[in-house]
Structure 1
């Protein structure tokens, strides 16, 4: 059975799992542990010398190393309506890239806030991992910041970086239910990315209080409450987590 490596606190992993579940693709999930699991992840990715990232999808000789490739594979082999239909593929890819740009701009702030929040660090431990390893989470957070070359962005700096992109998404959605006319990977991607304003409620996000606090940007959440309401509607209509 295919194996997906991911981080349950990562929207990049969240949107991949959504795509796989949408297409009813069976897979096993393995939680990656930053720092501690780095060598194992590199080995599964095929090189101990190169940086490896999650999500990582392994199915025999097939190795997919980014969210979009995994979503395309799910479209090709899974059931259900396609998320990347050819007539709208170009627009969907552009919207996915916009979502990734928003999330990349927010990553430094989130990593800094997780590193400074003891509850968030504890919640970041995979289920079943001994709490005595809790201090390694702070080291892992700093490791990830270096790995992804993330800066500890302030609230204002993040807001300046993402506000124009959020405003463009708002304008595109004006009077529309979906970003690309029908439900697609664009909606999956952007809805998942909006974690960085405020995570959705359960069952679509199982963050504890500390992790929710670390991810939430109160100012942007208030400013773009309409986008968050759209996001919640997309989750309710189109995603029942497996």
Structure 2
């Protein structure tokens, strides 16, 4: 079959014959990125909270020893997965698990696992920083009214920390949408893998990856705008007047009273 000689004609040919394959690849990319980011956030939240558990000299020696060991293991996990490329992690986990432990993972399951634990390592440091960014006076105030460490984290610290780290959560999602392309090394059929197959069919790489680039751009821009909208919603209203049943206590001066000329004043 003769290929069209013009750029637009080759683009149309690719979309007509392989548009479905590219869309399925993009669907797998989004599925892996979204689910793995959510799971990674949960992992990072747990690891970040454990890393910030205070340990004092007055604490039981067993508690101090256990926490030291747990924090050491979690620190090693964070440093290893933040300090090595995801592509290397994918090959190490996927092929290593089969070779050493005789565990033959499904490609998609391996993709979810790899991206989740990689995201969890980055989110752990983000959560830890978010928790430490909250003023210590709030923790002291919560403990002063009898809250335990768990209650303080759940009701006082975490709600503020999560709002502070929302931009980083969104950033991790955008990164995961793009970085799923490295999973092609373990034959996960995501957008980049599908694009390579399409390009190899006609040997027209420039047109194929032009389409691929536009598809990645559409996905990342859409989720960037969506997450920015969520951030604005989390900010709440700009007007922070007290909500009270007593109009005399309204900070905006809602109470009207007679003026000198029989009118009303605010």
Question: Given the two structures, how large is their TM-score scaled by the length of structure 2?
Answer: 0.25
Pair member with larger Rg: 2
